[in-house]
Amino acid sequence: MSDPRIGLSIESQVARITLRRPEKLNAIDEDMIDALLKACRAIERSDARVAILAGEGGKSFCAGGDIDAWSSLDADTFSRRWLRDGHDAFGAMARLTVPLIAVLNGHALGGGLELAACADLRIAEAHVKIGQPEPGLGIIPGWSGTQRAARRFGTGLVRRMALFGEVYAAQEALAAGLVDQVVATGEGSAAAEMAAARVLKRSPRATELTKMLINAAEGEESERVVEALAGAVAAASGDLAEGLAAYRQKRTPRFDR
């Protein structure tokens, strides 16, 4: 990867994305945003059938946006570059055509929660805490913390975290629906590997299509899903073969019903 703080490996059809900035609690800066987007593109062009996302170290899955990186930006640059670029990267994560498993092996706060919300399955280790502290700093949850997070976790839960500052321990997060599984500290990676193995036993094409349809039901990518599915049907039809043949032979195509 262009930034060594975003690790990507693909082996045996499993992609592994790792945030490698433990000294800053895996906080994300602009270069890391770009690297996350590139990692998503690399996964889409690979043979990966499932992806695992984790943070290095045991204190923090991701502390969100690096305050030192964004606090010095002027308002225009903050909105035009920081927020938009973050949306692009996180959107790409949420719209990966393969299932994404997030291993919350440390706290997921602010942008860390927004990143976890991109996943299809969230596995939390027992010691983690989850919350949205941004309004306490005078800023909003800007990487879809009021949109994708609300769709996936419910507006009531997001209100309690973002407006009232509630922070959830792992078991509380499980009961509230913020995470899907809680395991002992240190066992998140093993649990993710087991979940990935279950994905690999299922039809890759059916899994991809099912994820696309679920995303469309959430309003995540309705336009792309409709056109991708329709395009696949058209591409698989005899009409495309006849149309291309006619084009190359400079004749009128003969389409049959």
Q: Is 134 a catalytic residue?
A: yes
- Active site residue: 56, 114, 125, 220, which one? 114
- Residue with token string 């995540």: 220
Whole-angstrom CA distances from 142 to 6, 42, 71, 181 are 21, 25, 13, 26
| Residues ≥6 apart with Cβ < 8 Å to 65 | 27, 28, 29, 82, 86, 110, 111, 142, 143
3-state secondary structure of 59: coil
**Catalytic residue, candidates 56, 125, 134, 220:** 134
Q: Which residues contact 151 (CB under 8 A, 6 or more apart)?
A: 218, 219, 220
DSSP letters, 107-136, are EEETHHHHHHTT-SEEEEETT-EEE--GGG
Phi-psi region of 157 (alpha: psi -120 to 50; beta: other; left: phi over 0): alpha
> Can you tell me the distance from the alpha carbon of 89 to that of 76, in angstroms, rounded to the nearest whole number?
19
Beta partners for residue 129, in sequence order: 169
Q: Can 172 be counted among the known catalytic residues?
A: no
**Residue 17 in tokens:** 């994305």
**Residue from 206, 24, 35 nearest 112 by CA:** 24
Cα–Cα distance between 200 and 207 in angstroms, integer?
10
| DSSP run (H or E) holding 177 | none
Cite the active site residues: 114, 134
